[in-house]
Structure 1
Amino acid sequence: MSSRQAKQVSMTGMQEIGSPSSKELDDANLARMGKRPVLKRNFGLMSMLGFSCTILITWEGIVVLFLQAYQNGGPAGAIYGYLFVWAGVASTFVVLSELASMAPTSGGQYHWCSMLAPRSTMKLFSYITGWLTVIGWQATYATSCYLCGTLIQGLIVLTNSSYEPKNWHATLIFWAVALFSITINSVGGKLLPRFEGFILILHILGFFAILIPLTYMADHGSAKEVFTEFLNLGGFPSQGLSFFVGMVGCIFAFAGGDAAVHMSEEILNASTAVPTSIMLSVLINGSLGFGMLLAMLFCLGDIEEALGSATGYPFMSIFLQATGSVAGTAVMCSIITTMGITTSVGMLASASRQFWSFARDRGIPGWRIWSQVHGTTAVPIYSVLLTTVVVCLLALINIGSAVAFNDLVAMSISGLYLSYMIVAGLLLYRRCTGGISNARSSDHGLVNVPGSICAWGPFHLPGIAGIAVNTFALIYMTIAVFFSFWPPSWAVTVQTMNFSVVGTFGVIMLSLIYYAVRARHVYNGPIVEIH
């Protein structure tokens, strides 16, 4: 073996155990995109897999959001809708993984948009995509904290029938969850990766802790009822329309697929570890979610009693009917509630990193403050604090109107999916026109930034297969965004109206006003900090 070969083997071995060579390689790849490494790479593949899986928490989401799919679609609609969403999410995640492999930065969508869009439209497209991602992540984090608050209220009602839940109670619990999240995020170091690794274990063990007693103790429905019965309790003109409206619950159960992307500058071997964690998370969560959905549908019990549950969550009544024990039901529901609380930690991390990165490139008002990183913890603490303050202020809306808050957090689907659609459309155009080089990105200087060449990363689905998956992802995302704006029933009232379209495009309009007044003078897409 030559000395050169020996050196290569040595470096490869060092990288596999997460040595400084891995970090140096990641920092070199980041430098090729014009960025200075300022965050510490504390995540490895397993901790990032835990991070991705516990952001999605699909099986927990299916349980909590069970009512939406059941009312519009019924048992059969819920199953077939889930399978369609799972396939659509998988294709979407393939596209995101390809892009993350090309340019693993915390900016994610707006950076990818800038490197793929034509020069004439790059600046505005990138800016809008950045704000759509901000909207989506702020709303997703707010949703997580809000659901935790109402879940805890439901648990109190379950164990203490004299308790009368108030909206302001949920807001106070919301703030407590946000405080817990900011505490974990502010410490820095190895705490967050280790925390996410531990939660992955709870995520998997909790699945069996609920599935086994539920399926063993409950009375089971027939396969014919589960796989052939469709419902249209929303009163829509057709069963097909009802099916697509009910599918939104399944879509939200997979929300946050780009979480690992925004942690790219804090993980070793980012160009391969991020795509791997994203794709494994959709496989693991999709499988667990489908198993739990089948269990719920076969073990419904008295569905009318479940729909009228005083807890506000039908799944709590379904668990109670199955076990016949308030204590046992409380334990099962506590697992789901705990997972919701811990998920908020990761959501705050992703939301704040995306916000920090966008501020770093001057897309946010007050960007000089929000782009700062504290040297001792290597955490963008000001962005973490601002994200927390924003969602805590949003929680005040719930005191006046829970309906208005529900409409607000519905923007998590529309914001994130619109940002996915923009970059997926640009990627499809580029790959069909041969606008992406097959050469390794390490063979060039600056790469995958505005004005430089675009080159595929290690994760890439080539040829017709890549085009087909990319096209299907766009079709699925169009359907998801369109029906995310629909109300849950055909007869619309103030209480059932979905105002998320107003919120989403309202924030876009405000961002465009800021762009016209100020941002167009300071925002030019991702800044090249290293030439």
Structure 2
Amino acid sequence: MKKDKVAKVDRSEERLRELGYKQELKRELTSFTNFSVSFSIVSILTGLTSLYGTALNSGGPAVIIWGWVFVSFMSMCVAASMAEICSSYPTSGGLYFYSSRLAGKHGPFFAWVTGWWNLLGQFGCTAGIDFGLALLLCSVISLATGWIYERWQVVLIYFLILIIHGLINTFLVKLIAIMNTVSVWVHIGGIVIILVTLLVKAKDKATASFVFTTFINNTGWSSSVYVVLLGLLQSQFTMTGYDASAHMTEETKNADVAGPVGILMAVSVSFVAGLAYLLALTFGIQNLENVLNTKTGNPIAQIFLDALGQTGAILLLVILLLAQFFCGNASVTANSRMIYAFSRDGAMPGSKYLHRVHPQLSSPVWAIWLSCFVSALLGLLYLINAAAFSAITSIATIGLYISYGIPTFCRLTFARDSFEPGPISLGKWSPIIGWTACIWICIITVLFVLPGEAPVTAQNMNYTVVIVAAAAFYIFGNWYFNARHWFKGPVSNIDMEEAGADFPSSSNAGDKFEVDTPASSEKQELEERI
């Protein structure tokens, strides 16, 4: 029995070693806990809640329901292509590692671009989740006490939430898997409770005609097609973050199966649960005008208030708060693993610090707090512009989906004949699904930088375009003038270890947080340039 258990662990560790990395993080996650990380980050109770009001004004119930079905299908195409590659390359580097391996001689360039877009998206995702939690918490307090909150107070609460998530990821690593498992049941159980409660308690339920066919346009734009496309942001922002299963593969047993299955299950389970949640909310609307012009600060809070009264509304909102809290914590976990993996290959400023795993805490401490710090900076946009939340969610969607699409593009172009699938493969459907995913990503990348309201003013402008343009300038400019001269893509830390490197290990004891810089001349030169 003991030997069999060791063999199961060694299977994933051996594959990781074949890909050029030694085992540093503890491999303790099961297939279910790997799935639970992605499911917690997708978090239908976070994304669909946070942007329900946006979608209600940009298309109404018809776009909310049918948009969710359509976006879920397109997201499954993206997820399936990602899962196929993940099965072959189960590493924490995830998407940017895939691009490096699949793009051949162009690998360093595509790895660089993929990694940085993924980082931007993950920062935006963490910011969007925790900021949505801060807004919802303020709405709940306001509903319970009559408190009228201001922007700076929302930002302070947002900072506090980020700090709490940073502390959990730093000092309570062993509890993260448990929290993600609890998160799954909070989401599923919460949806069942909300569905049953609204169906039983709501006196004047909306009609099927209202839920499935009503179109609303409060954007100021005359084009119905454009408004429908704008309304898809709610669904598309929600269907992000499932790449977390790939980033957690170095901590997962049987990762070449568990990782891709986690990706696919996160999207499929989220689709079913999310559809039930949206139907419950939309059928539960008692007074559309109240919801569109809510004084609670949150349309869903108004739906609960109209249907259940103050006490019932607060009880259901607490479920949403718990779900969003778990979601934000899981996002910090996944974000820090990406920073850890990317900096392990020297691709970030301060890489020699960011790739360290604390020998006693078994967590990438520097990476965790960088994730929280950058997310905090994004939250400051709210002090300038009340529409900043939509911009943050657009940044998350665009950054993540660009990074999702590049490995698939490389797989279909540079490696269409050389790619060796892992245990999970799409077979003959791979090209069709892959190109569908790439085309869809191109569409949403353009769509979500466009203005959401007309006429466009300084207060309602979509500042996503400014941040995305600045990010593109940095990513491509830094590559051309700097990184192309030294960045070679993922660097094998096994080779460095044999050359005299001393990398941090989660299994090594010791009091020092610091570790020696690798002795490899290539690595030394790389870090000096950074």
TM-score, scaled relative to structure 2: 0.89
Q: 1 CA distance for matches of 2:489 and 2:193?
A: 48
Change (3 A) 1:261 1:62: same
What amino acid is the match of 1:97?
A: A
Distance 2:220 2:377 in 1: 35
Distance between the aligned counterparts of 1:511 and 1:479, measured in 2? 21
Which of the numbers 39, 58, 80 marks the counterpart of 1:94? 80
Alignment pair present for 1:106 and 2:92: yes
Indicate yes or no: 2:196 matched with 1:212. Answer: yes
On the 8 A contact 1:188/1:379 being kept in 2, the answer is no
Q: Segments of 4+ in structure 1 off by > 6 A?
A: none
Unaligned runs of 5+ in 1: 1-9, 437-454
**Alignment match, 2:125:** 140
Distance between the aligned counterparts of 1:482 and 1:216, measured in 2? Answer: 42
What is aligned with 1:34?
20
Is residue 184 from structure 1 mapped to residue 168 from structure 2 by the alignment?
yes
Q: Is the 8 Å Cα contact of residues 167 and 399 (structure 1) preserved in structure 2?
A: yes
Find out whether 1:459 has 2:424 as its counterpart.
yes
Checking the alignment, whether the CA contact within 8 Å between 2:45 and 2:320 is kept in structure 1 is no
- The residue that corresponds to 2:153 in the other structure is 169
TM-score (norm 1): 0.89
- Preserved CA contact (<8 Å) 1:63 1:296: no
> Could you tell me whether the CA contact under 8 Å between 2:191 and 2:276 is conserved in 1?
no
104, 111, 115: which is aligned to 2:101? 115
Residues 23-63 of structure 1: CA distance to partner in whole angstroms, max 9, x if unpaired? 21111100111111111112111212221211111244223
Partner of 1:440: none
Whether the aligned pair in 1 keeps the contact of 2:221 and 2:453 (CA below 8 Å) is yes
* Corresponding residue for residue 491 of structure 2: 527
**1:236-247 alignment runs, 5 A limit:** 236-247=221-232
Conserved? CA contact 2:39–2:242, under 8 Å: no
Question: Does residue 198 of structure 1 match 2:182?
Answer: yes
- Distance apart, 1:505 and its partner CA: 2.4
1:521 to partner: Cα distance: 3.8
What residue in structure 2 maps to residue 482 of structure 1?
A: 446
Distance 1:479 1:519 in 2: 29
The Cα shift of 1:401 comes to 3.3
1:386-425 to 2 correspondences below 5 Å? 386-404=370-388, 406-425=390-409
For structure 2, list consecutive stretches of 5 or more residues without a partner in the other structure: 496-530
Q: Which whole-Å CA distance do the structure 1 matches of 2:174 and 2:180 have between them?
A: 10
**Share of identical aligned residues, percent?**
28
Query: CA distance change for structure 1 residues 202 and 318 in 2, over 3 Å: closer, same or farther?
Result: same
Alpha-carbon distance in structure 2 between the residues aligned to 1:395 and 1:66? 20
- The answer to whether the aligner puts 1:266 opposite 2:230 as a matched pair is no
What CA distance in whole angstroms lies between the structure 1 residues aligned with 2:292 and 2:173?
Answer: 45
- Stretch deviating more after TM superposition (202-211 or 82-91): 202-211
Which residue pairs with 2:347 in the alignment? 363
Q: Is the 8 A contact 2:194 2:280 kept in 1?
A: no
Deviation at 1:524, TM superposition (A): 0.7
Distance change (3 Å), C-alpha of 1:474 and 1:512: closer
Correspondence for 1:434: 417
Counterpart-to-counterpart distance in 1, 2:11 and 2:314: 48
* Structure 2 counterpart of 1:498, one-letter code: N
Q: Which residue of 2 aligns with 1:510?
A: 474
Asked if residue 318 in structure 1 is aligned to residue 303 in structure 2, the reply is yes
| Residue identity matched to 1:83 | V
In structure 2, how many angstroms separate the alpha carbons of the residues matched to 1:192 and 1:372?
19
Distance 2:46 2:198 in 1: 14
CA apart distance, 1:480: 2.0
Could you tell me how far apart the structure 2 residues matched to 1:167 and 1:406 are? 15
Aligned-partner SS, 1:157: helix
Could you say which residue in structure 2 is the equivalent of 1:375? 359
User: Aligned equivalents of 1:237 and 1:413: distance in 2?
Assistant: 25
Give the letter aligned to residue 49 of structure 2. V
**RMSD (Å), alpha carbons:** 1.8
Q: Residues 101-159 of structure 1: CA distance to partner in whole angstroms, max 9, x if unpaired?
A: 1111111111111111140x222221111110110001110111111111111011111
Equivalent residue letter for 1:499:
Y
Q: Please, which of 313, 330, 340 is the counterpart of residue 324 of structure 2?
A: 340
2:90–2:250 contact (8 Å) kept in structure 1: yes
| 1:444 equivalent in structure 2 | none
Separation in 2, partners of 1:284, 1:310: 33
Tell me the residue number matched to 1:221: 206
**2: CA distance, partners of 1:514 / 1:461:** 36
User: Does residue 1:24 correspond to 2:7, yes or no?
Assistant: no
Deviation string for 1:274-293 (max 9, x for gaps)? Answer: 11111111121110101111
**512-521 vs 284-293, greater mean Cα deviation:** 512-521
Return the match for 1:287 from 257, 272, 291: 272
> Using a 3 Å threshold, how does the CA distance of structure 1 residues 191 and 88 change in structure 2: closer, same or farther?
same
CA contact (8 A) 1:63 1:292 kept: no
Q: Cα distance 1:210–1:404, how it changes in 2: closer, same or farther (>3 A)?
A: closer
Residue identity opposite 1:50 in structure 2: S
Give the 3-state SS of the residue equivalent to 1:486 in structure 2.
coil
